[in-house]
Amino acid sequence: MFNLVFLYVPILVLLVFSFNASRLAATWQGFSWQWYGQLIQDRALHAATWNSLVVAAMSTMVATALGIPAAMGLERLARRSQHLLGSMFLLPLVIPEVMMGVSFLLFFVMMGMPLGLTTVLLGHVAFNLPIVILIVRAKLRKLDLRLQEAAADLGASPLQVFRLVTLPLLRPAIFGAVLMAFTVSLDDFIVTFFVAGPGATTLPLKVYSMIKSGVSPEINALSALLVFLSMGLVAFSLLLQRR
């Protein structure tokens, strides 16, 4: 109960104060839509939102496309190399994100790559990949191997086995991985902070720099919209998984 209060009360307060007529975060001066109005007109915010969505979508797609074959390959390896390679893939999940950010930055600069949306995208793929691998592998372990063997036995080519048997069985896991990767990418701050360049300010970076010029209810309004968006995404995924 205590936990629930801690989790939801701040969000509720944030939602309520996004409709505050006053600029002050602390005092209520009546209902107003003005912050949502400002939000719609803020051009820098549009650009940041667009950047965030593009990076999240692209990095999720790339990470999923690379992660599924990687997970399947890992499952087929001998136990010892599976263990070794598997932990190597998971390393990005446990090393501090700040270190990841710095090492990416140094790497990109060393390679002479200009910082920008591309470097942000690469960074996001790098931390999304382990997430996809982790989720897909967990599902692969639980699959009944006999189904794939039966398909092969009945004359299906390896590609057909993958397309018609394995993939459909993996679908809920893939969907979960996609959603997870998308969300993580959408609100990543640290790695993005290090590798962002001209024209690559994402939403979290923008929100952070907005605080410098005073916490205005515009941030509340923005956060309220984001809360609704992520709630919508979760509801959508639940709906799809139920089918």
Binding-site ranges for other proteins (CB under 8 A): 22-27, 41-44, 47, 105, 108-109, 114-116, 194, 196-201, 205-206, 208-215
CB closer to other proteins, 103 vs 157: 103
Q: What would the two tokens of residue 63 be?
A: 């990470």
CB closer to other proteins, 109 vs 164: 109
CB closer to other proteins, 69 vs 199: 199
Q: Which of 40, 32, 31, 29 is nearest to 225 (CA)?
A: 40
Minimum CB separation from other proteins for residue 88, in Å?
27
Minimum CB separation from other proteins for residue 42, in Å?
7
CB closer to other proteins, 22 vs 160: 22
Minimum CB separation from other proteins for residue 151, in Å?
32
Minimum CB separation from other proteins for residue 25, in Å?
6
Identify residue 213 by its one-letter amino acid code: S
Minimum CB separation from other proteins for residue 62, in Å?
19
Alpha helices by DSSP H, listed for the chain, are 2-17, 34-41, 43-76, 79-94, 97-110, 117-142, 145-153, 158-160, 167-186, 190-195, 203-212, 217-242
CB closer to other proteins, 37 vs 232: 37
Please, which residues have CB within 8 angstroms of residue 139's CB and are 6 or more apart in sequence?
A: 169, 170, 172, 173
Q: What would the two tokens of residue 6 be?
A: 């801690």
